[in-house]
A and B are shown apart, each in its own frame.
Chain A
Amino acid sequence: MLIRYIGLAIASMAGGAVIAGGYFAFISLIGVFPKLIEKVKGNRHYMLVESCLTYGAVIANAIYIFNIEIPVTLVGLAILTLFGGIFVGCLIGALAEVLNVFPIISRRFYVRRGFPYVIMAVGIGKVIGSFIGLLAYGL
Chain B
Amino acid sequence: MADLIYLKLSESVLAESRKITIKDVSKVVCDNPEMKYGTEKIELMNFSGTKQQQVISILDIIEEIKKEYPKAEITNLGQPEVIVYYKEFDTADRMKQTVKLIFICLVAFLGAGFSIISYNSDVNLVGQLDLMQDLFVGESETGSTIAGLAYSIGLFIGIVIFFNHGTNKKFSDDPTPLQVQMRQYEQEVNQTIITDAERKKDIRDAD
Contact = CB atoms under 8 A, between A and B. Distances in A.
With a 10 A CB-CB cut-off, give which of B87, B136, B165, B186 has the most chain A CB atoms: B136
A32 to B, nearest CB: 9
Contact of A49 (B125, B159, B178): B178
Contacts of A66: 145, 148
22 contacts: A7-B136, A13-B151, A16-B151, A17-B155, A20-B154, A20-B157, A20-B159, A20-B162, A28-B177, A33-B104, A35-B185, A40-B101, A48-B105, A49-B178, A51-B165, A53-B108, A56-B111, A56-B116, A66-B145, A83-B109, A84-B111, A84-B113
B178 A58 contact: no
A50 to B, nearest CB: 5
Given A4-B137, A61-B155, A34 B165 contact: no
Contacts of B156: 16, 20, 54, 58
B74 to A, nearest CB: 33
Contacts of B77: none
Interface in B177-203: 177-179, 181-182, 184-186, 189
Contact of A60 (B100, B101, B117): B117
B206 interface: no
Contact of A52 (B109, B121, B146): B109
Contact of B119 (A15, A23, A36): A23
A105 interface: no
Interface size grouping (class) on chain A? 35 or more
A64 B121 contact: yes
Contacts of B104: 33, 36-37, 39-40, 45, 49
Interface size grouping (class) on chain B? 35 or more
Given A39-B104, A54-B166, A57-B113, A33 B158 contact: no
Given A65-B125, A65-B148, 7 more contacts: A37-B182, A38-B182, A46-B182, A56-B110, A56-B112, A87-B114, A88-B115
A94 to B, nearest CB: 11
A135 B106 CA distance: 27
Contacts of B113: 56-57, 59-61, 63, 84
> Main SS of chain B's interface residues?
helix
A9 B150 contact: yes
**Shortest beta-carbon contacts, A-B, top 9:** A87-B111, A16-B154, A60-B113, A20-B158, A84-B114, A13-B154, A17-B158, A56-B109, A83-B110
B168 interface: yes
B114 A83 contact: yes
Contacts of A60: 112-114, 116-117
With a 10 A CB-CB cut-off, give which of B101, B113, B168, B184 has the most chain A CB atoms: B113
Interface in B129-183: 129, 132-133, 136-138, 145-163, 165-168, 170, 176-179, 181-182
Contacts of B162: 20-21, 24-25
B155 A19 contact: yes
A86 B107 contact: yes
A8 B158 contact: no
Contacts of B32: none
